[in-house]
Amino acid sequence: MKCWIGGLGVLGPGLPGWAASEAMLAGTQPWQMAEAAAAPPSILPPTERRRTGPTVRFALAAAAEATEREPDRGALETVFATSNGDGATIAGILDAMHTPDGAISPTLFHNSVHNAAAGYWHIAVGSTAPSVSLGGHDGTFAAGLLSAVTGVVARGRAVLLCAYDTPLPPPLAECRPTAFPFATAMVLRPAQVAGTRAALTLRYVAEPLAEPVPPTEGLDALAAGNPAARALPLLRALAARRETLIGLALDETAHLELQVTPC
Amino acid sequence: MPSLWPLAMTGRSTVTAFGAGTEALRRALHERRTGLAPCAFPGAPEGVWAGQVTGLEAAAPPPALSTFDCRNNRLAELALRSDDFEAAVAAARARHGADRIAVVVGTSTAGIEETERAYTRREPGADSLPGDFDYAHTHDLHALPRYLRQRLGLRGPAIAVSTACTSGARAVMEAAALIAAGVADAAVAGGVDSLCRLTLNGFASLELLSRGPCRPCAGDRDGIVIGEAAGLLLLERAEAAPRDALLLLGAGASSDGHHMSSPHPGGLGAVGAMRAALEAAGLGAAEIDYINLHGTGTRANDAMEDRAVHHLFGDSVPCSSTKGWTGHTLGASGAVEAVIAALCLEDGLVPGCLNVETPDPDFRAQVAAGANRAAPLRRVMSNSFGFGGSNCALILGRAS
């Protein structure tokens, strides 16, 4: 399958937006670890904005940046990929339910659905376009990319892919460690347009990915700390405008093979 | 562009409050017998009803996959054992190869019921969850497709769709895209959702739970009854299937972009999804013979859906909700109701809403209530709507 990538967003440790991080991702400027933060999404009306937690804020920040130059971002179909969903909200409900007389807040409950960030995004941009939210554990970014590229190829429409995850609070954090928040977004299209950065060819391979020893320091080491950060090899290839072959694990038995060809 | 539709349904299985297997569901539909009962689920709010599945204690995963053991995966396991589904998948595997069959399933709860148990099992004063709690194989959304893929010996892509109450229907659309794009030749698609304290108490917090059996489309309807279920479909390209196989003729999705938990009052998103499904199937509104409504039984959903259906179909197409039988099985409902649509096509059945003598007098669509009707059906639409403003419509039928 083949599509074209243009319009990128990222928000993670030491990566405060695509524009501010491009040189670091390309390796032409040094990267330094720094805590990532997401502001309340200004694209949402104030009543909705107040109801968003960090997870939705990270997702919407990346999606907003990736679509900054879109003439009509409401026209884009969307794929929202997250492993943990809004873990803080889910943990809050679990805590409340296991506290004597603990009551669940209605807002907390509707924010607990896995497609909460997608729901807020479509409200923010007034979009009635189709949207799918999915999960894939550590292979969540790969699953989202597979779904988004499949959508582009099967339906011939542009798709906004947004992948995001934030750490779970205790006690879930011990069972599912996530080292830091990370979000990335990209617009995938069926044809090349002005501003397209690269062509992406994607192939599903029903074999385990032969992974080299994972890097333990620097920017590349971030990939292991958050399912959405598994996008880093692709983001780095796009930033460097470098022709690259990337293996991206879906799980321990299958992977995607990505061929990135800069335009 | 590749052609998405039609797809043939060469296998199907359901597990509902009526038990394992689609024949139990078919009998209950014809006998107008509900699967709902006062809720006996531990930790449920007082005085609510549920569509609970019994017999899960005998549906443990095989020993090699015991790490996946949780209520949600037991529902999936029971579905595999029913309706000769496992054999249908084995035959497809022989035809296409294990690498070429995807697993795309929806769930909103996943195995969170296992997490709730882990919270309850904690030692007094302890914060940590018990050491034997396996988050990745139970609570995690991906546990469901991973379990099905391993259990069925498949090697195609495994995707967990989670779009609240459209998950089961939306998974069918994702599976269709994978087949159209050439990533797979067949797919196990559908949805599984299990009873848990989170959804029971969550919907209670929104004051959306009925105090008795739910009564979709009734003038005095008072909310939903949550059910649990598994609905699995085996989908393949129509040309590879027997000529009399039931077909998925098209599907459409949309977003409301309106509010997180209230539908667009005018049904804008619902109209968009139904219209997109008609376009995908190349059909006009007059070519639909029956609509299986999302019809949850809440004030807002049913009123919105009546407006949306009337907008597209006027009062000329009979429609009804079957949630009076199964309850609202949330992330499984889209898949279970796709199978109900198939049963309606096979049996020429328009089920009238259960426990409802006459529909809401304010409704303008042609709502079937009070009794079942016999009618020759060629094409049936099935609607699903969910929190986050997610909408999806499927159309099933036979080759014309």
pLDDT at A203 over 90: yes
What is residue B175's predicted lDDT score, i.e. its pLDDT?
98
Q: Do B255 and A104 touch (CB under 8 A)?
A: no
Q: Name the percent of chain A lying above pLDDT 90.
A: 89
Of B26, B71, B351, B355, nearest to B193 by C-alpha is B71
CA of B378 vs chain A CAs: smallest distance (Å): 26
What is residue A210's predicted lDDT score, i.e. its pLDDT?
87
Q: Which residues span the domain enclosing B85?
A: 7-397
Q: Which residues pair with B320 in a beta bridge?
A: B292
In a domain? residue B341: yes
Residues of A in contact with B98 (CB under 8 A): 206
Number of domains in chain A: 1
Backbone angles phi, psi at A254, to 5 degrees: -150, 155
Active-site residue, from B165, B196, B353, B392: B165
Instruction: Evaluate whether ipTM surpasses 0.90.
Output: yes
**In this complex, is the C-beta atom of B187 within 8 Å of any C-beta atom belonging to chain A?**
no
- Maximum pairwise Cα distance, chain B: 65
Q: How far apart are the first and last CA of chain B?
A: 23
Name the stretches of chain B with pLDDT < 50: none
Active-site residue, from B196, B328, B353, B392: B328
Q: What is the CATH number of the domain that holds B179?
A: 3.40.47.10
Residues of B in contact with A1 (CB under 8 A): 181-183
What is residue B141's predicted lDDT score, i.e. its pLDDT?
98
Q: Which residues span the domain enclosing A127?
A: 2-262
Query: Residue B147: in which H helix or E strand, if any?
Result: helix B143-151
Q: How far apart are the first and last CA of chain A?
A: 17
What is residue B48's predicted lDDT score, i.e. its pLDDT?
97
Chain mean pLDDT for chain B: 97
Q: Reduced to 3 states, what is the DSSP secondary structure of residue B345? A: helix
Q: Reduced to 3 states, what is the DSSP secondary structure of residue A137? A: helix
Q: In chain B, what are the helix, strand and coil shares in percent, each to the nearest 5?
A: 35, 25, 40
Both tokens of residue B395?
Answer: 């159309």
Q: What is the CATH number of the domain that holds A155?
A: 3.40.47.10
Q: Could you say which of B159, B183, B388 has the minimum Cβ distance to residue A119? A: B388
**In this complex, is the C-beta atom of B142 within 8 Å of any C-beta atom belonging to chain A?**
yes
What is residue A41's predicted lDDT score, i.e. its pLDDT?
92
**Burial annotation B340-362 (CB, 10 A radius, 16+ → b, else e):** bbbbbbeeebbbbbbbbeebbee
Whether B294 is catalytic: yes
Number of domains in chain B: 1
Q: Which residues contact B305 (CB under 8 A, 6 or more apart)?
A: B267, B270, B293, B294, B295, B383, B385
Q: Could you say which of B158, B201, B268 has the minimum Cβ distance to residue A104? A: B201
Q: Do A128 and B257 touch (CB under 8 A)?
A: yes
In a domain? residue B1: no
How many whole angstroms separate alpha carbon B168 and alpha carbon B193? 9
Rounded average pLDDT over A218-235: 96
Q: Could you say which of B1, B108, B160 has the minimum Cβ distance to residue A134? A: B160
Q: Name the percent of chain A lying above pLDDT 70.
A: 100
On whether the CB atoms of residues B397 and B177 are closer than 8 A, the answer is no
What is residue B357's predicted lDDT score, i.e. its pLDDT?
95
Q: Do B206 and A106 touch (CB under 8 A)?
A: yes
Rounded average pLDDT over A12-25: 98
What is residue A101's predicted lDDT score, i.e. its pLDDT?
77
In a domain? residue B233: yes
Strand segments, DSSP code E, in B256-348 are: 290-292, 318-320
At residue A143 the predicted structure's pLDDT band, cuts being 50, 70 and 90, is: very high
Residues of B in contact with A105 (CB under 8 A): 205
Q: Do B390 and A85 touch (CB under 8 A)?
A: no
Size of the A and B interface in Cβ pairs below 8 Å: 214
Q: Which residues pair with B247 in a beta bridge?
A: B8, B397
**In this complex, is the C-beta atom of B3 within 8 Å of any C-beta atom belonging to chain A?**
no
pLDDT at A81 over 80: yes
